[in-house]
């Protein structure tokens, strides 16, 4: 029934859009990048889930080139797969391309329009939570989470020593981000409840079920009544768990400063006078922002961690080289740990800086398997020319991250996992992940909307990879190769989750 409605609505919109093709903003001189006809594009959007869209985009790229257009209803979607075009758009003309399309999710950093609210929220996260001194203050929480992870992996090991790791990675990253949000070592059942609620929301957005509510904001509420109800229910379930955690901070929890604390104290400057609340955020808004942080920092990192460990299992010589580097810096692995015992020895964060090969392994993992194939969509704020084409105001711009990491013009043997490509002559690892001077890959995006958590994300990956390799020897299960096929959830994950033989190393 809903699909029928979508088709009817799309046909109506098709008619309207044809009439606005000659809109002043799209006159004869204003040529859009090439792409399939409106009818063909609409058909592609209606018949494919966003989760399965990647092969279609790759096909369109090979047909139309590094910049192409796909139109759907009133929306003009531009796709860019070329590094220098991405640099031109995101860095050189960044001010025009840093807006976001409208979303049904309000009050998050990632969905806020480019403007003062976004700036205030992003600055709060960057300066209050992601500042190096604050990140350092969470260092003991990372050690605690490492222990949680090692314990869970030991407990989850089958008699033959094999373990499926991804759920343990996700759980560990969740514990860490929940701690950064609320300052509590939340118990397992509550963590699992939060994970379940967050995942339901995310998967519904990633599959397009909830995004359609944004495409048709007014009619959508009537046509997709059931989905609206479902969306509101998911939101209220989320608030039911998250708001009490925020309130418990208000009741005078001393010690470490958490994200929830900073939100309670935040004032939105442009609303100071007119929201009747002195510019304070309400609890739903705070819950939405905490929920964003949990999503942004967990699945992305867990997905990357799984891909990196899979490559280390697949390439034992790379794992050996990495292990040797770790041992050269911190000494031999400690004796096998007992379950539930406090970890005495870890590869510390100070030591990570002395391990260029570790950095190279992590970067190679992010190049070869970026956590997302596309950046979050950007919105064009004003009509602008890009490579001789006119991009209309309001168009959505998408960046094909994975294609950039695999471009043979930039990367030698792009399909191979070769960390050495990131090392310079003296064995140092020097790479600008922000792409400010030029983009070669952009797993965290680039320009004004670049992921504000990129430094923390890299730290988490280096810390967990180093410790997992120092504590355990990872090997392939006899007779089973590692299948590197991928599938898209909220992030891009291994289709066959990594299962490996994991044995504690002896000193
Ligand atoms: C390996 C880990 C991570 C990866 C691969 C990753 C990747 C990304 C990407 C691709 C974007 C979209 C950029 C764009 O649209 O141009 C993004 C945005 C964002 N990320 Fe991350 N991220 C990671 C970790 C984190 C962490 C740890 C945090 C916070 C603690 C975080 C917070 C955010 C936020 C708030 C945004 C929205 C930025 C905005 O719209 O201004 N991310 N991330």
Q: What is the 3-state secondary structure (H, E, C) of 92-107?
A: HCHHHCCECCCCCCCC
Average pLDDT over residues 97-110: 88
Which residue has its alpha carbon closest to ligand 1 atom 18?
A: 451
Does residue 458 surpass a pLDDT of 60?
yes
* Buried/exposed 434-473: b ≥16 CB within 10 Å, e otherwise: bbeeebbbbbbbbbbbbbbbbbbbbbbbbbbbbbbbbbbb
CA torsion 61-63-67-73 (nearest 10°) is: -90
Which neighbouring-strand residues pair with 492? 488
Q: Give the pLDDT band (50/70/90) at residue 402.
A: very high
Which residue has its alpha carbon closest to ligand 1 atom 19?
A: 451
Q: Quick one: angle between helices 283-314 and 166-182, nearest 10?
A: 150
Q: Give the pLDDT band (50/70/90) at residue 217.
A: low
Atom of ligand 1 minimally distant from the CA of 110: 40
Question: What is the pLDDT, as a whole number, of residue 343?
Answer: 79
Q: Which residues have CB under 6 Å of ligand 1?
A: 109-110, 122, 293, 296-297, 300-301, 304, 371-372, 375-376, 443-445, 449, 451-453, 456-457
Question: What is the pLDDT, as a whole number, of residue 9?
Answer: 54
Q: How far is it, in rounded angstroms, from Cα 294 to Cα 201?
A: 12
Question: What is the pLDDT, as a whole number, of residue 255?
Answer: 74
409 CA → ligand 1 middle, Å? 27
Atom of ligand 1 minimally distant from the CA of 372: 10
Write out the binding residues for heme: 451
Question: What is the pLDDT, as a whole number, of residue 357?
Answer: 98
323 CA → ligand 1 middle, Å? 29
* 32-41, 119-128, 160-169, 245-254: the lowest-pLDDT one: 245-254
**At 242, is the secondary structure helix, strand, or coil?**
helix
Question: What is the pLDDT, as a whole number, of residue 213?
Answer: 66
Which neighbouring-strand residues pair with 162? 501
Q: Phi and psi dihedrals of 164, rounded to 5? A: -95, 125
Does the interface predicted TM-score (ipTM) exceed 0.95? yes
The token duo for 124 is 């709060």
Does residue 5 surpass a pLDDT of 60?
no
Q: Which of 118, 134, 296 to mutate to test the pocket of ligand 1 (most atoms within 8 A of CB)?
A: 296
Q: Give the pLDDT band (50/70/90) at residue 60.
A: very high
Which neighbouring-strand residues pair with 207? none
Q: How far is it, in rounded angstroms, from Cα 122 to Cα 119?
A: 5
The token duo for 107 is 């009050």
Does residue 20 surpass a pLDDT of 70?
no
Atom of ligand 1 minimally distant from the CA of 90: 16
Average pLDDT over residues 115-122: 95
Does residue 251 surpass a pLDDT of 90?
no
Question: What is the pLDDT, as a whole number, of residue 19?
Answer: 41
Share of the chain above pLDDT 90, in %: 65
Which of these, 432, 399, 374, lies nearest to 89 by C-alpha position? 399
Q: How far is it, in rounded angstroms, from Cα 70 to Cα 45?
A: 9
Question: What is the pLDDT, as a whole number, of residue 489?
Answer: 86
* 104-108, 278-282, 316-320, 421-425: the lowest-pLDDT one: 104-108
* 223-232, 233-242, 287-296, 452-461: the lowest-pLDDT one: 223-232
Question: What is the pLDDT, as a whole number, of residue 166?
Answer: 95
Question: What is the pLDDT, as a whole number, of residue 260?
Answer: 94
Contact present, 370 and 402 (Cβ < 8 Å) = yes
Q: What is the CB-side half-sphere exposure of residue 492 using CA atoms within 13 A? A: 23
Write out the binding residues: 451
Q: Phi and psi dihedrals of 385, rounded to 5? A: -90, 135
Average pLDDT over residues 106-134: 94
Question: What is the pLDDT, as a whole number, of residue 272?
Answer: 56
Q: How far is it, in rounded angstroms, from Cα 451 to Cα 448?
A: 9
Q: Phi and psi dihedrals of 163, rounded to 5? A: -150, 140
Average pLDDT over residues 17-45: 69
441 CA → ligand 1 middle, Å? 15
Q: How far is it, in rounded angstroms, from Cα 176 to Cα 144?
A: 9
Does residue 356 surpass a pLDDT of 90?
yes
Average pLDDT over residues 302-330: 97
Q: Quick one: angle between helices 225-250 and 166-182, nearest 10?
A: 60
Pairing of strands 492-494, 486-488: antiparallel
CB-based contacts of 170, cutoff 8 Å, min separation 6: 195, 298, 299, 302
Q: Give the pLDDT band (50/70/90) at residue 208.
A: low
Contact present, 456 and 297 (Cβ < 8 Å) = yes
Cα of 302 vs its chain's centroid, Å:
10
Q: How far is it, in rounded angstroms, from Cα 213 to Cα 102?
A: 11
User: How many angstroms separate the first and last alpha carbons of the chain?
Assistant: 63
Contact present, 391 and 378 (Cβ < 8 Å) = no
340 CA → ligand 1 middle, Å? 33
Atom of ligand 1 minimally distant from the CA of 448: 41
The DSSP secondary structure of 444-504, one letter per residue, reads T--GGGS-TTHHHHHHHHHHHHHHHHHHEEEE--TT-PPP--EEESSSEEESS--EEEEEE
Q: How far is it, in rounded angstroms, from Cα 183 to Cα 177?
A: 9
Does residue 376 surpass a pLDDT of 90?
yes
């Amino acid at each position: 029934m809903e699909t029928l409605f979508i088709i009817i609505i799309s046909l109506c919109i098709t008619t309207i859009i044809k009439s606005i093709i000659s809109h002043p903003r799209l006159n004869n001189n204003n040529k859009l990048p090439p792409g399939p006809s409106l009818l063909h594009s609409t058909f592609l959007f209606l018949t494919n889930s966003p989760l399965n869209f990647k092969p279609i985009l790759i096909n369109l790229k090979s047909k139309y080139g590094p910049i192409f257009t796909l139109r759907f209803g009133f929306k003009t979607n531009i796709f860019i797969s070329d590094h220098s075009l991405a640099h031109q758009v995101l860095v050189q003309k960044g001010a025009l391309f840093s807006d976001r399309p409208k979303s049904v999710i309000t009050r998050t950093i990632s969905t806020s329009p480019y403007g003062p609210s976004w700036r205030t929220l992003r600055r709060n996260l960057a300066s209050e939570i992601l500042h190096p001194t604050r990140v350092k203050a969470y260092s003991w929480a990372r050690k605690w989470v490492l222990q949680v992870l090692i314990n869970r992996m030991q407990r989850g090991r089958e008699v033959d020593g094999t373990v499926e790791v991804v759920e343990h990675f996700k759980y560990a990253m969740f514990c860490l981000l929940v701690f950064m949000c609320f300052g509590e070592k939340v118990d397992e059942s509550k963590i699992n409840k939060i994970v379940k609620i967050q995942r339901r929301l995310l998967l519904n957005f990633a599959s397009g079920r909830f995004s359609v509510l944004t495409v048709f904001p007014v009619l959508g509420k009537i046509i997709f009544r059931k989905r609206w109800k479902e969306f509101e229910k998911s939101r209220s379930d989320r608030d039911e768990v998250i708001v009490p955690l925020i309130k418990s901070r208000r009741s005078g929890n001393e010690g470490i400063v958490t994200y929830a604390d900073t939100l309670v104290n935040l004032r939105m400057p442009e609303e100071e006078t007119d929201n009747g609340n002195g510019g304070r955020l309400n609890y739903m808004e705070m819950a939405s922002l905490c929920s964003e942080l949990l999503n942004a920092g967990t699945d992305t990192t867990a997905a990357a961690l799984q891909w990196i460990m899979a490559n280390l299992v697949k390439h034992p010589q790379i794992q050996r080289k990495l292990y040797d580097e770790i041992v050269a810096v911190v000494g031999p692995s400690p004796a096998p740990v007992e379950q539930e015992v406090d970890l005495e020895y870890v590869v510390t964060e100070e030591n990570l800086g002395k391990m260029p090969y570790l950095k190279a392994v992590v970067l190679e993992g992010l190049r070869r398997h970026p956590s997302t194939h596309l950046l979050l969509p950007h919105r064009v704020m004003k009509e602008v020319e890009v490579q001789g084409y006119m991009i209309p105001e309001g168009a959505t711009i998408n960046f094909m991250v994975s294609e950039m990491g695999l471009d043979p013009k930039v990367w030698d043997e792009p399909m191979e996992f070769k960390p050495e490509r990131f090392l310079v002559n003296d064995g140092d690892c020097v790479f600008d992940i922000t792409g400010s001077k030029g983009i070669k890959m952009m797993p965290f995006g680039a320009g004004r909307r670049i992921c504000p958590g990129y430094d923390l994300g890299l730290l988490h990956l280096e810390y967990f990879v180093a410790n997992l390799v120092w504590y355990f020897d990872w090997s392939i299960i006899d007779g089973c190769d590692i299948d590197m096929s991928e599938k898209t959830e909220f992030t891009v994950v291994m289709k066959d989750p990594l299962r490996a033989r994991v044995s504690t190393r002896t000193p």
